[in-house]
């Protein structure tokens, strides 16, 4: 015969299970689309497809060599030198070191072309999506010239030209605002390392966080959390009927 405490424990477990289920069921996920082409797939660049930490390390070494400023100080300045709208201000940073920005732009563009900053599974993630009929596009926050200098040399590796071009969008506004203003009628998904994007209701948020356990959306966190791009691909495919 069960003790009162055992009964209480069982009831508590049942209540928690029901609450967990309700949290998942209360999350609004857009209706599945009929085909991959109907799902707008947006992928972030920094710390999602591209290893931005390694990128910053190489960029800082290049700037330190050209300017004579100590490397540790350059790293600090790269990470704390925002443009008026946010994001890294490369030209402003060069001027603060009394360097001519245009020759430094050329050095930067050459560096980014010559060095592979993609995460190991970025290529298979993108090319497999393309082969499955999806049309992924890149949506990156930051100053346009700087972001495109990082992204454009890597597009061929990611499958650009495989079945079409990979569109690249850069924005200096919140991604929610970008999607609402520019793509209000799309049903889509955003894969991004930054949490709490508060996307439009017709978008699914996939939070790429390798340091966290994977999880499904709940009322408290209405995003899929994935520990790998492979898992992100599985979530994207699940949104097609």
Please give the pLDDT value at position 85: 65
* Mean pLDDT score of the chain: 89
Please give the pLDDT value at position 21: 40
Q: Quick check: 78 and 60 in contact, CB under 8 A?
A: yes
Percent of the chain with pLDDT over 90: 79
Say yes or no to pLDDT of 87 above 70: yes
Calpha distance 198→195 (Å, rounded): 9
Say yes or no to pLDDT of 4 above 90: no
Whole-number CA gyration radius for the chain: 22
Calpha distance 234→226 (Å, rounded): 10
Kind and range of the H or E run holding 208? strand 203-208
Kind and range of the H or E run holding 204? strand 203-208
Say yes or no to pLDDT of 38 above 70: yes
Buried b or exposed e, range 55-92, using 16+ CB within 10 angstroms:
bbeebbebbbeebebeeeebbebbeebebeeebbbbbe
Please give the pLDDT value at position 23: 41
pTM for this prediction? 0.85
The two tokens of residue 46 are 């920094």
């Amino acid at each position: 015969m069960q003790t009162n405490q055992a009964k209480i424990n069982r009831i508590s477990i049942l209540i928690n299970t029901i609450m967990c289920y309700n949290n998942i069921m209360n999350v609004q996920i857009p209706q599945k689309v009929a085909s991959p082409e109907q799902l707008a797939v947006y992928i972030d660049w920094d710390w999602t497809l591209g290893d931005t930490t390694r990128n910053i390390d190489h960029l800082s070494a290049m700037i330190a060599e050209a300017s004579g400023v100590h490397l540790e100080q350059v790293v600090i300045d790269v990470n704390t030198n925002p443009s008026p709208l946010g994001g890294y201000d490369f030209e402003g940073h060069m001027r603060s070191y009394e360097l001519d920005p245009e020759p430094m732009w050329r050095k930067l563009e050459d560096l980014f072309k010559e060095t592979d900053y993609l995460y190991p599974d970025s290529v298979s993630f993108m090319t497999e999506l393309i082969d499955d009929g999806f049309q992924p596009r890149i949506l990156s926050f930051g100053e346009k010239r700087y972001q495109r200098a990082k992204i454009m040399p890597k597009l061929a590796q990611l499958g650009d030209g495989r079945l079409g071009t990979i569109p690249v969008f850069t924005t200096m506004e919140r991604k929610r605002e970008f999607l609402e203003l520019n793509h209000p009628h799309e049903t889509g998904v955003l894969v991004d390392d930054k949490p709490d994007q508060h996307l439009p209701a017709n978008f699914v948020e996939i939070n790429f966080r390798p340091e966290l356990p994977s999880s499904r959306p709940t009322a408290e966190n209405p995003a899929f959390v994935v520990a790998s791009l492979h898992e992100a691909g599985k979530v994207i495919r699940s949104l097609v009927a």
